[in-house]
Amino acid sequence: MPQLNPNPWLSIMIMTWLTLSLIIQPKMLPFTPTNPPTNKTTLTTKTNPWTWPWS
């Protein structure tokens, strides 16, 4: 069963995590979104209770 042999897949997983954590993540962290959600106003909606016909 080749799935149980960690020899090739362990190194692939470690290289993938290293690539993600050392190269991709530092490039993504300084990204500032152009439309931050903190600038949006919250809309308050009035909710009416539902009247059930059998109660």
Q: What pLDDT shows up at residue 39?
A: 61
Q: Which two tokens stand for residue 21?
A: 């954590």
- Provide the pLDDT for residue 14: 93
pLDDT by residue (tens digit) across 1-55?
556 777 788 889 999 999 989 998 888 888 877 776 666 566 788 888 888 887 6
In three-state form (DSSP H/G/I as H, E/B as E, the rest C), the secondary structure along the chain is CHHHCHHHHHHHHHHHHHHHHHHHHHHHCCCCCCCCHHHCCCCCCCCCCCCCCCC
pLDDT attached to residue 52: 81
pTM metric for this prediction: 0.46
